Amino acid sequence: MELNIKETQRMPLNYFKTNLKNYIYDKNIDPTKLLEKILSEKYKPGQKNIIIFGENHANHKFKELLIDFLKVLFRYNFNCVAFEMLEHVIQKDIDNAVYTHNSDKLKELIKDHLIEYWNKSPGIPETYLKAIMFVIENGKTLIPINK
């Protein structure tokens, strides 16, 4: 069920952050199950739920887990994902490509942007691109937030 703007403005905000980076290398802990546990405890239906992940941009392990984390979040009805690694100025181009269903143009636009700004180590732009396209392909809203 979609909520209209007035309904969402009245909803209380449930803001929480989690530090999974301490656990992603621990072979005894499944970070995806840990996220599921955190959400089962902190997620509040009927509220604006916001979760923030911090990560080291050169950390490949986190990026490998990112799509798995997104799958868990989508099961909890998170429908908007903000990426700090995308400059806010490309929002209009992203929206136009999504609106016109031009996935090739969208993929190329985001890939070029990531290569220009986030080519910090091999494979980083490609891994981010997979996660970003996963968000879009699942019908979720993508928001670039870097200024």
Residue 3 has a pLDDT of 33
Average pLDDT of adjacent 10-residue blocks, the chain of 147 residues: 38 53 70 82 74 65 81 86 82 83 85 84 84 89 82
Residue 20: closest CA among 78, 79, 61 = 61
Phi, psi of 48 (to 5 degrees): -75, 110
The secondary structure of residue 69, as a DSSP letter, is H
Residue 6: what pLDDT?
Answer: 40
Q: What is the DSSP pairing of strand 48-53 with strand 80-87?
A: unpaired
Residue 22 has a pLDDT of 63
